[in-house]
Structure formats: structure tokens, C-alpha cells
Structure 1
């Protein structure tokens, strides 16, 4: 048997990470039939924090003595993560899984755009063109002004903005900041926000099915976290990053099999445009030897 290269292992781990994150989304969406939004987010958050603490103890990768600058950036990142969780899961509860996932694939384009506008990063005309075409694909997915367009389509777009802010802040963190510290801070922020929201809503008893769905969401989001860390450690970011788009394949399959949803042809064309332009952007960044990070996703 021919041994796998580091990049091939990284690609496989990235695909595993995207599968785990999409299964997490599917579990959360399925639980929404019986569990209120804030309760579901809070319960999953508590489980995520517990597993992260166990994982950090095993890996010995949690460090709290950081500079004031890094803690400030972590606080901003946590706020962005909280906003992303609220708007993304709100959209997820009310839109087809594949549609929400397709919109989220615009994040690499948005990060490149924001990096050029706010951080002074150099972006050539080819990537500017790709960004413009890619956001045209997003418009095909959400189709403003049509019958299928609603406030939750806007929520999905706002979640892209929140994730973009989160990723830009992540780029500014010092290299010595442990990923586990960042992830745990984000999980704590999201869970605290969900707890405050849940305090003002009526809770429902967790039956066996929604309990298993939320437990599955917790396990899947942690697996996605672990696989994404491993992918970044064994493969080159510019090679591994495009495999994040396999999340859309899983979203299409799970949406059809579990929820009976299949996007329209126009939505699929828009998603294909977003993916194609995103992959081109990754390719150009690799050619210019300026690969961007693929930050952890804890929505």
C-alpha cells in the first residue's frame, strides 16, 4: 500500500472535519422540532465546554497567561463567535440545511475582501473578479425579492459577516496563543449568551430523541474541532483548505435524506459559483505564498 502524503492525510482530515460539523448542524436542526432555540444552544454548549475541558487536560494545551492585547482580541473574537452562532443557528432552524451551508461557503471570499479593505492586504484583479462573481453566486442562493427570500436569509448573511470578523481577529492573535484557549473562550461566550436567552424562555423536558440529537451535536462539533486541528498540523493550509467545501456535499445529502429538502437548480448554480470562486481564491493565495488560516468553527 502506498503511504499517504501529509497533504493527503490533511485533506482526509479536513473532509472528516466538515462532515462532523455538518452532522452537528443536522442534529441541531432536527432537535429544533422539540427543543426551543436557546435551550438547545445552551445544552449543547454545556456539553461542548465539558468535553473541551477534558480534551485540554489530556492534551495539556490550555494556557490562560496571555498578553492583554491577546485577551482583548479573544474577547472580540468570542463576541463575533456568539453572533455567528445566534444568526447561523436561527437560520438553520428555519431554512433548508443545504441553503444555509451554501451561503456560509462565501466566508473565504468575505475574509479576502475584508482583509483587503480593513487590513491593507494586497488583492490582485483576479481575486477581486472572483470575489465579485462569488457574491453574485450568493445572490442566486438567497434571491432577494423572491418568494423564498425571508428574514432568515438575512440572518445567514449576517452570520457570514460575524464569521468574517472572527477570522480576521484570529489572524491578529499572537502565534503562541493555544487554539484550545481560543476555542474554550468561544464556547463559554456562546453558552453564556444562550443561558441568558434560555432564562427568559420556557424550557421543555428533554425526551430521548432530542436528548440524543443534542448529545450527537456535541460529539460531532468536538470531532470537527479535533479533525480540523489535526488537518492543519499535517497538511499545508493552502492545499487542505479547499476541502472545506465538502461540507456542501454532506449538507445536500443530509438535507435530502433527513429533512426531504433539495435545493432548486438556481440555488445549486449559485452554490457552484461560490465554491468555484472560493477554490480559485485559495489557489491564488497559494501561488502568492500568502495562505490564510482556516479557523475553528464552534457554531
Structure 2
């Protein structure tokens, strides 16, 4: 129950960050907003480095850690760019293609066995994505493809994480993610920087950094005290929060087809998680 509560809190915080980010992109460059989003995690990691020393950076795969950090930074940037143009609920729904993309990439890259049931779930999720996006219909802004790219990069990051989990600690992976992602985004910052013009902008930028850092910390704690297969479905509450914030702040509400597509995507993700839980249970029973 503690893990479930922490997971719910984590995705509530992430949803608040996404809503603030969308609001800020109306007046500030998306890369600047993403940089502040990373800042909260970076400050937390710098605190860990000060407390525990550089030993937390010891890794068996430095190149992969750097690659994962780059994927995290690019994924966040692509999502914020996309969400600056499309309704928040639509972006969150499409971003949920990440779980079944992990299945596809796991089969292609890690050679993980994927049976008929998981491929069926992937097909269902893909169909749901097409319903939300409705390519060629002109209903959704083309920038939704940036959200698809963000989900793809996020899925690739998860595949790298699975490989690193066998040798590196979670704290090491988080540290490299914060340091590499922030360094990469900082390269572009001088070209897009704009001083906040109002106290509201400054307050929201600070809130984005703080809530994003708290969200990452809460997510890690949730995974420490709860079983991942049990608490992972809580991520889909972001669709409810995204819809709420989109309606409250931007007067945007998903149409019926978006809800149908989102339902298919969520069903695909939940079924994929269910199959992973069954596979893990069989592995424990035979191991």
C-alpha cells in the first residue's frame, strides 16, 4: 500500500510538472523549460555526490550510462516541444505507447522472447495510437509525432536500463541520467535563454524543478518498497490528471475518439504488465 501511494504521488507530481511546462512554453522556449525540469533532479544528485562521494558514479558500462542520460534528456525535450502544440491529455495518451514499444525493442535488441499475447497487446496499442493521432485527418497537430518520438526514446532508455540493472546500482543510473541530461541541455541553453519576465514565470520555473525532483525521488522510493509489477499500472492515472489540467488551465478536453484510443493504449499497457508479472512468477517458480 505504501508503494501504491508513493507511485500515485509520483505521477501526480509529474502531471503537475507537465501542466506547468505546457503553460510556460507559451512565453519561454521549450528547451529552457526542459532545462529547469532537469534542474530538480540535478540538484538532488549533486547533494548525493556531496554526501556519498563520487563512488556512486562507479559503473561497469560508462558509455551506456552516458547514452541513457542522453536519451533521457532528448526524450524530455521532444515531449515538451510536442506538448507545447498539442492538448495535454492527447500528449499523455500517446506517450503511453512506451510500454509496448519496450516490448518491441526488447525483442529486437535484447532478444527477449515475446509470445502471441504480447504481440497482440502491441497491435492493440498501435491501433489505439492511430485512433488518437488520426493521421491525415488534420484533427491533431503534427507535433504529436514529437510525443511519439519522446515515447520511443523513453522506451530505448528503458531497454538500456534493463541491461544496466545487472551490473550498476539504481543510484548510479539516476546520477548519470541527471548529469548527462543536464549537460546536454545546457549546451543549447545560451541560444534560447530568456529571463523570466514576470514573477509567475519565475515561480513556475522553480516549481517545475522542485516538483520534477520530488517526483523522481518519490518514484524511486515507490519502486524500493513496492513490487514493480503491482504498482506500475498507477502510471495511467497521468491520463486523468492530464485531462483535468488540460481542462482547467487550457480549456481543452479530449473528444470521444481520443478516449477510445486512450482506452486501447491503456488496455495494451496493462495487459503487457500482466504478462510480465506472470512471466516473472514462472521464473521465480522454476528458479
TM-score normalised to structure 2 length: 0.91
Alignment check: 8 A CA contact 1:38 1:198 kept = yes
Matches of residues 95-174 of structure 1 in structure 2 within 5 Å? 95-174=86-165
Say yes or no: does 1:65 pair with 2:58: yes
Q: Following the alignment from structure 1 to structure 2, what is the Cα–Cα distance between the partners of residues 144 and 58?
A: 50
Per-residue CA distance 1:226-252 (angstroms, 9 max, x = gap): 111111111111111111111111111
1:281 to 272, 275, 279: 272
Distance 2:59 2:164 in 1: 10
User: Per residue, is there more helix in 1 or in 2?
Assistant: 2
Aligned-pair CA distance for 1:216: 1.0
Within 5 Å, give how 1:1-299 maps onto structure 2. 8-55=1-48, 57=50, 63-67=56-60, 70-201=61-192, 203-289=194-280
Q: What do residues 50-107 of structure 1 show as CA deviations (whole Å, max 9, x unaligned)?
A: 233225555779612222xx21110111121122022111001111111111111111
SS at match of 2:140: coil
Distance 2:83 2:57 in 1: 33
Gaps of 5+ in 2: 283-287
1:119-164 deviation digits (Å, cap 9, x = unpaired): 1111111111111011100111111101123331111111111011
Residue matched to 2:285: none
Q: 1:234 to 1:56 in 2, by over 3 A?
A: farther
Provide the C-alpha distance between the structure 2 equivalents of 1:163 and 1:47, rounded to a whole number of angstroms.
19
Q: Is the 8 A contact 1:81 1:186 kept in 2?
A: yes
* Residues 57 and 176, structure 2, Cα contact 8 Å, conserved in 1: no
Please give the TM-score of this superposition, normalised by the length of structure 1: 0.88
**8 Å contact kept, 1:110–1:161:** yes
Rounded Cα–Cα distance in structure 2 between residues aligned with 1:284 and 1:61: 39
SS at match of 1:94: coil
Tell me how far apart the structure 1 counterparts of residues 240 and 127 of structure 2 sit (CA, whole Å): 21
SS of 2:192 mapped into structure 1: coil
Seen in structure 2, the aligned counterparts of structure 1 residues 131 and 88 have a Cα distance that, compared at 3 Å, is: same
Q: Distance in 2 between matches of 1:231 and 1:161?
A: 24
SS of corresponding position for 2:146: helix
Q: Do 1:88 and 1:159's aligned partners in 2 also have CA atoms closer than 8 Å?
A: yes
1:39 CA drift (Å):
2.3
